[in-house]
């Protein structure tokens, strides 16, 4: 017989569908939660990194003599001290742990210092003499393919073409556009940090803030020249991630110093170094042509998309695939021609950030939909609804969308929301420019804009995307207690709460402990692609099912009545590897194939007030509708939608790493602005729960879709207020004033 | 140099403090109080907000030596034993905590606001928290938490 959760017990509190408090919440509000930068070890030293000041240069010589003389310095290391392979990377091992004869971006690590005080380490860094032969950097993503090759195979990391339907289709109404997306930063608040502790056998334990323990472990071990089991990683407290912790930062560096000196080594970046220390969102240039008939039905879409991968590949290949396969948006289009290139340049390396390729494409295709509406004299929401994808639709890759795709419904939900009232009286705090007292309402124009987006959920293109979970059940102090162990990274999103909820629901046990996440168990996969609730949630659920089977055996095939009596001193301990249904790599010539596991959708309406004389924007309201399949934790779902929308707002009106000849001009929170509580407006949110039959509990990934449609909705609203074309994000005041 | 400072009601002393060290470094690395956070170390994010003689400051902008003979209250000093301060309790309940790195600073800033303004309006809350960056929540649930804490404090008063 099989046993259902309902057989086990009357439902316990805090299961799926509820919003129990997160298990780390009390520690976090008390200031007692141990983030990676809080770690301390007896006799530890501090590591620091010397970085290249040049975007592109040959290293002529490195002289460590003076640095080694600084009292308190324990070690100064260069690439010559990397015992294993001096290369790492998520998809291509093209990035040196420490630069050898060339540096390819400003901020590239060249040397390391380990010292007894962080200030001592910084002083020693300043005494390292590096002679550079400065080269002209490659900085233009559109021409990079034809410029001086920065890597042996040339400057194209990946080209993805998509060809579907009639490549010569023509249409009555044609709109074209060129769009640009600036380089956005994840700007997680907890800086890159970790503590490496050498053991007595030449191995190392690394306590680290990361998104994926096992892929870090593999890369660190290769660089250290150690077998995997000698490099053990434990997740430390993670202060946000958003894609910026998928690549290595100080992981190998701290281990190198620890193994060389025999001392526990702590490394913590400051904010400026953090801007150099992780990959960013790919800047993009996108050329689009949309053809439609007079009713607004899309006949064809053509796009050429350039993504600037910067100096090293990171996850550029996958970002290119996303931008290409999702490049026409959540619309039915029979005839599609897309080419997307990810290229090497001497700009900072770019890789994963929330929305991962879908963000850049959405800004362009949604701008195009507004342009099309204008050309047709149609309402911008109507033209979207006319073309809205639905369940059964065929993607440009030929993949059939086989679960809910309520695109039209999401658009209607945000359109039908009541409008925020115009302010009754002048309150400076409601004005663009705020208490800077730049206007009392004169020159302020209100605008409304809409957008909808699509995102793939989980890893795509044939990747073996699984997670491992171990669930134990036993009686502790007279009551049943369970624990769950995975290597899946909690980065703030609340996976630890979801895991507890799943175990409670599946085993009917209220007391659930989440064990520290580490490499002592199998791979949990990345905390990326909105996948952890789906995949690690699926693994925890499957492990619980295995535990239930053991319970049935123990009960002689009958449904157990009382777990305490049944278990006695027995411990049930089950480990399960769980994977979602397989995907396939797309055809390299046609781009056809079932590339993605699941699609997620969100729509936004933005209401903005624009001071058209000064170019200042106040987002008055930002509303969202999203299908989440099943809200396992409704409070956390709202938190993801609110936070994701805020990051989209940032890209729309303020966030950009500004570059000049490959150099970062604003590596600080003084000059790189992220939304404050004054910038982020109230949100009205509708959550749909249209279960995906292929996914555990019907869940649909939540984290990324709201970041995608937020940006184009806000820009559409600014266009509505100003009548300007606004083809670049972030929109700056001078784009509005024309000065 | 030696620094004498009262932290969370306790007289503390630190030796061999380098003159360039901040109060934040002193708290985190020398006094074993890493609750105040190091997100920007340039006074932009508010994650290191502590009370210095009852005035909220960014601990990263205060030199360790400036705290000599003064009173510091950090996020670790807000709860009474196991009992959370109403602001802390409300942050957990409202879902205002995700990664939590901004939380200590926001909790201190909100605590200070409610001491000054027991029933703040939304614009007053926004103004008071405008110096604290959060990257996870979009601030909606932080506003909810402050409203909840204000109503709890009023009910309890």
Question: Taking CB atoms and an 8 Å limit, are B40 and A24 in contact across chains?
Answer: no
Closest chain B residue to A646, measured at CA: B138
Alpha helix (H) residue ranges in A246-388: 251-261, 271-277, 316-325, 358-376, 380-387
Kindly state whether B45 is in contact with chain A, defined as any CB-CB distance less than 8 angstroms: yes
Domain range for residue B62? Answer: 3-77
Structure tokens at A30: 């008390």
The yes-or-no verdict on residue A424 having pLDDT over 90 is: no
Q: Give the C-alpha separation, A483 to A43, whole Å.
A: 34
Of A566, A573, A539, the C-alpha closest to A466 is A539
Which tens digits make up the pLDDT trace of A431-470? 999 999 999 999 999 999 999 999 999 999 999 999 999 9
E-strand stretches of A486-580:
511-514, 572-579
Burial of A440 (0-12, 13-18, 19+ CB in 10 A): exposed
Burial of B6 (0-12, 13-18, 19+ CB in 10 A): middle
Q: Give the C-alpha separation, A447 to A606, whole Å.
A: 8
Q: Tell me which chain A residues have a C-beta less than 8 angstroms from the C-beta of B139.
A: 642, 646, 675-677, 680
Q: What is the 3-state secondary structure (H, E, C) of A439-501?
A: CCCCCEEEEEEEEEEEEEECCCCCCCCEEEEEEEEEEECCEEEEEEECCECCCCCCHHHHHHH
Return the CATH number at B114: 1.10.150.120
Domain boundary at B77, B112, B134, which? B77
The yes-or-no verdict on residue A3 having pLDDT over 70 is: no
Which tens digits make up the pLDDT trace of A129-154? 999 999 999 999 999 999 999 999 99
Structure tokens at B32: 């074993």
Strand A598-611: give its sheet, edge to edge: A444-457, A598-611, A616-627, A685-688
For testing contact with chain B, the best of A31, A119, A187, A493 (most B CBs within 10 A) = A31
Print burial letters for A596-612: b (CB count within 10 Å at least 16), e (below 16): bbbbbbbbbbbbbbbbb
Predicted local distance difference test score (pLDDT) of residue A12: 83
Neighbours of A232 (CB within 10 A): 18
> For A576, how many CA atoms within 13 A lie in the half-sphere containing its CB?
22
CB B118 within 8 A of CB A422: no
Q: Give the C-alpha separation, A722 to A719, whole Å.
A: 5
Burial of A640 (0-12, 13-18, 19+ CB in 10 A): buried
Rounded mean pLDDT of A717-730?
A: 98
Q: Do both B60 and B97 map to the same domain?
A: no
Of A346, A350, A352, A311, the C-alpha closest to A663 is A346
- C-alpha distance from B112 to closest chain A C-alpha (Å): 15
Q: Give the C-alpha separation, A203 to A197, whole Å.
A: 9
Which tens digits make up the pLDDT trace of A152-167? 999 999 999 999 999 9
Closest chain B residue to A28, measured at CA: B100
Which tens digits make up the pLDDT trace of B127-150? 999 999 999 999 999 999 999 999
Q: Do both B14 and B64 map to the same domain?
A: yes
- Pairing outcome for strands A663-664 and A659-660: antiparallel
Q: Give the C-alpha separation, A290 to A173, whole Å.
A: 8
Q: Tell me which chain A residues have a C-beta less than 8 angstroms from the C-beta of B44.
A: 271, 668-670
Instruction: Return the SS3 of A373.
Output: helix
Question: Taking CB atoms and an 8 Å limit, are B140 and A683 in contact across chains?
Answer: yes
Positive or negative, the CA dihedral B53, B56, B62, B64 is positive
Q: What is the CATH number of domain A5-33+466-579?
A: 3.30.365.10
Structure tokens at B65: 């030596």
Question: Taking CB atoms and an 8 Å limit, are B37 and A35 in contact across chains?
Answer: yes
For testing contact with chain B, the best of A189, A640, A642, A671 (most B CBs within 10 A) = A189
Q: Give the C-alpha separation, A342 to A701, whole Å.
A: 26
CB B21 within 8 A of CB A117: no
Kindly state whether B100 is in contact with chain A, defined as any CB-CB distance less than 8 angstroms: yes
Closest chain B residue to A187, measured at CA: B135
Q: Give the C-alpha separation, A403 to A627, whole Å.
A: 11
Q: Give the C-alpha separation, A346 to A310, whole Å.
A: 6
DSSP code of residue B61: G
Please tell me the total count of domains within chain B. Answer: 2
Neighbours of B66 (CB within 10 A): 14
* A416 alpha carbon, distance to own chain's centre: 31
Q: Do both B72 and B102 map to the same domain?
A: no
Instruction: Return the SS3 of A367.
Output: helix
Question: Taking CB atoms and an 8 Å limit, are A677 and B79 in contact across chains?
Answer: no
Predicted local distance difference test score (pLDDT) of residue A559: 73
The yes-or-no verdict on residue B157 having pLDDT over 70 is: no
Mean pLDDT of chain A: 97
Structure tokens at A53: 């000041």
Question: Taking CB atoms and an 8 Å limit, are B140 and A31 in contact across chains?
Answer: no
Confidence tier at A5 by pLDDT (50, 70, 90): low
Domain boundary at B77, B102, B129, which? B77
Mean pLDDT of chain B: 97
Domain boundary at B77, B110, B143, which? B77
Break chain A into its structural domains and give their ranges: 5-33+466-579, 407-452+597-739
Question: Taking CB atoms and an 8 Å limit, are A37 and B74 in contact across chains?
Answer: no
Q: Do both B98 and B72 map to the same domain?
A: no
Of A535-539, A563-567, B32-36, which gets the smallest average pLDDT? Answer: A563-567
Rounded mean pLDDT of A202-211?
A: 98
Q: Give the C-alpha separation, A56 to A106, whole Å.
A: 7
Q: Tell me which chain B residues have a C-beta less than 8 angstroms from the C-beta of A494.
A: 98
What's the CA angle centered on A238, arms A237 and A243, to 5 degrees?
160
Which tens digits make up the pLDDT trace of A355-412? 999 999 999 999 999 999 999 999 999 999 999 999 999 999 999 999 999 999 999 9
CB A62 within 8 A of CB A108: no
Instruction: Return the SS3 of B60.
Output: helix
Class of CATH domain A407-452+597-739:
alpha beta
Rounded mean pLDDT of A347-361?
A: 98
Confidence tier at A7 by pLDDT (50, 70, 90): low
Closest chain B residue to A23, measured at CA: B92
Kindly state whether B61 is in contact with chain A, defined as any CB-CB distance less than 8 angstroms: no
Question: Taking CB atoms and an 8 Å limit, are B35 and A21 in contact across chains?
Answer: no
Question: Taking CB atoms and an 8 Å limit, are B37 and A239 in contact across chains?
Answer: yes
Residues paired with residue A177 on neighbouring β-strands, in sequence order: A288
Predicted local distance difference test score (pLDDT) of residue B91: 98
Kindly state whether B67 is in contact with chain A, defined as any CB-CB distance less than 8 angstroms: no
Kindly state whether B107 is in contact with chain A, defined as any CB-CB distance less than 8 angstroms: yes
Strand A204-208: give its sheet, edge to edge: A73-77, A109-115, A45-51, A265-268, A193-198, A204-208, A231-235
What's the CA angle centered on A392, arms A387 and A398, to 5 degrees?
85
Kindly state whether B103 is in contact with chain A, defined as any CB-CB distance less than 8 angstroms: yes
Q: Give the C-alpha separation, A708 to B35, whole Å.
A: 34
For testing contact with chain A, the best of B135, B148, B149 (most A CBs within 10 A) = B135
Confidence tier at A61 by pLDDT (50, 70, 90): very high
Question: Taking CB atoms and an 8 Å limit, are B143 and A677 in contact across chains?
Answer: yes
Structure tokens at A685: 């949110």
Confidence tier at A423 by pLDDT (50, 70, 90): confident
φ/ψ of residue A634, rounded to 5: -55, -35
Q: Do both B67 and B133 map to the same domain?
A: no
The helix/strand count (H/E) of chain A reads as 17, 28
Confidence tier at A2 by pLDDT (50, 70, 90): low
Q: Tell me which chain B residues have a C-beta less than 8 angstroms from the C-beta of A38.
A: 28, 34
Which tens digits make up the pLDDT trace of A530-539? 999 999 999 9
Of A663, A647, A715, the C-alpha closest to A281 is A647
* A38 alpha carbon, distance to own chain's centre: 24
The residues near A607 (Cβ < 8 Å, ≥ 6 apart) are: A419, A420, A446, A447, A448, A619, A620, A621, A622, A681, A717
């Amino acid at each position: 017989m099989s046993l259902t959760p309902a057989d086990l017990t009357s439902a316990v509190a805090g299961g799926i569908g509820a919003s129990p408090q997160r298990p780390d919440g009390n520690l976090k509000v008390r200031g007692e939660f141990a983030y990676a930068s809080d770690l301390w070890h007896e006799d530890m030293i501090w590591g620091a990194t010397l970085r290249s000041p040049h975007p592109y240069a040959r290293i002529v010589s490195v002289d460590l003599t003076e640095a080694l003389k600084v009292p308190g310095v324990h070690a100064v290391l260069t690439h010559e001290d990397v015992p294993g392979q001096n290369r790492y990377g998520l998809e291509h091992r093209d990035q040196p742990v420490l630069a050898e004869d060339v540096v390819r971006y400003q901020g590239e690590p060249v040397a390391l210092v380990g010292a007894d005080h962080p200030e001592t380490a910084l002083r020693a860094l300043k005494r390292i003499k590096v002679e550079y032969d400065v080269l002209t950097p490659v900085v233009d993503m559109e021409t990079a393919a034809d410029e001086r090759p920065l890597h042996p195979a040339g400057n194209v990391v990946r080209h993805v073409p998509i060809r579907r339907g009639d490549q010569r289709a023509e249409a009555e109404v044609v709109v074209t556009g060129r769009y640009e997306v600036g380089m956005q930063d994840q700007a997680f608040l907890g800086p890159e940090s970790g503590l490496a502790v050498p053991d007595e056998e030449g191995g190392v334990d690394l306590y680290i803030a990361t998104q994926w323990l096992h892929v870090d472990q593999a890369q660190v071990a290769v660089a250290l020249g150690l077998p995997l089991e000698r490099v053990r990683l434990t997740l430390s407290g993670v202060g946000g991630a958003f894609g910026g912790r998928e690549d290595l930062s100080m992981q190998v560096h701290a281990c190198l110093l620890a193994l060389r000196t025999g001392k526990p080594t702590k490394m913590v970046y400051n904010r400026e170094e953090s801007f150099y220390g992780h990959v960013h969102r790919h800047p993009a240039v996108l050329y689009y042509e949309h053809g439609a008939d007079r009713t607004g039905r899309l006949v064809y879409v053509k796009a050429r998309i350039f993504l600037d991968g910067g100096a090293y590949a990171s996850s550029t290949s996958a970002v290119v695939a996303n931008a290409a396969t999702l490049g026409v948006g959540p619309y039915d289009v029979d005839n599609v021609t897309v080419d997307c290139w990810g290229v090497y340049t001497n700009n900072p390396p770019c890789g994963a950030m929330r929305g991962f390729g879908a963000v850049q494409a959405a800004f362009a295709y949604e701008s195009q939909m507004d342009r099309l509406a204008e050309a047709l004299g149609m309402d911008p929401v109507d033209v979207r609804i006319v073309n809205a994808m639905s369940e059964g639709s065929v993607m440009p890759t030929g993949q059939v969308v086989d679960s809910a795709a309520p695109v039209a419904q999401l658009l209607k939900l945000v359109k039908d929301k009541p409008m925020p009232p115009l302010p009754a009286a002048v309150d400076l705090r409601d004005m663009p420019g705020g208490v800077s007292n730049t206007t009392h309402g004169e020159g302020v124009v209100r605008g409304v804009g809409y957008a909808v987006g699509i995102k793939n959920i989980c890893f795509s293109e044939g990747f073996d995307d699984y997670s491992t979970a171990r669930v134990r059940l036993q009686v502790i102090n007279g009551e049943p207690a369970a624990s769950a162990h995975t290597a899946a990274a909690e980065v703030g999103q609340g996976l630890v709460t979801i895991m507890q909820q799943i175990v409670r629901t599946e085993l009917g046990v209220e007391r659930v402990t989440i064990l520290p996440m580490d490499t002592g168990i199998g791979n949990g996969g990345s905390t990326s692609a909105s996948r952890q609730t789906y995949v690690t949630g699926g693994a925890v659920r499957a492990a619980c099912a295995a535990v239930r089977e053991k319970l049935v055996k123990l009960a002689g095939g009958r449904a157990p009545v009382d777990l305490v009596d049944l278990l006695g001193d027995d411990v049930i301990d089950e480990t399960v590897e769980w994977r979602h249904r397989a995907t396939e790599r797309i055809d390299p010539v046609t781009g056809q194939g079932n590339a993605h596991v699941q699609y997620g959708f969100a729509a936004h309406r933005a209401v903005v007030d624009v001071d058209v004389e000064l170019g200042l924007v106040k987002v008055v309201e930002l509303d969202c509708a999203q299908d989440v399949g099943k809200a396992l934790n409704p409070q956390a779902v709202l938190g993801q939608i609110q936070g994701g929308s805020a990051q989209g707002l940032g890209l729309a009106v303020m966030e950009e790493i500004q570059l000049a000849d490959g150099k970062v001009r604003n590596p600080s929170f003084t000059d790189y602005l992220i939304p404050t509580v004054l910038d982020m407006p109230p949100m009205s949110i509708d959550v749909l729960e249209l279960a995906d039959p292929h996914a555990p509990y019907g869940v649909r990934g939540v984290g990324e879709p709201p970041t995608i449609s937020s940006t184009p909705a806000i820009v559409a609203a600014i266009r509505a207020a100003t009548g300007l074309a606004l083809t670049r994000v972030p929109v700056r005041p001078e784009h509005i004033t024309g000065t | 140099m030696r620094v004498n400072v009262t932290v969370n009601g306790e007289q503390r002393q630190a030796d061999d403090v380098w003159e360039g060290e901040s109060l934040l470094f002193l708290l985190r690395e020398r006094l074993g109080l890493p609750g105040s956070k190091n997100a920007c170390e340039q006074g932009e994010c508010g994650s290191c907000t502590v009370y210095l003689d009852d005035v909220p400051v960014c601990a990263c902008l205060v030199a360790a030596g400036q705290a000599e003979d003064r009173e510091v209250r950090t996020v670790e000093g807000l709860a009474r034993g196991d009992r959370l301060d109403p602001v802390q309790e409300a942050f957990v309940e409202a879902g205002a905590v995700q990664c939590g790195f901004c939380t200590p600073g926001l909790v201190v800033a909100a605590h200070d606001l409610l001491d000054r303004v027991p029933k703040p309006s939304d614009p007053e809350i926004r103004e008071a928290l405008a110096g604290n960056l959060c990257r996870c929540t979009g601030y909606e649930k932080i506003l909810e938490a402050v409203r909840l804490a204000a109503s709890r404090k009023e009910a309890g008063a």
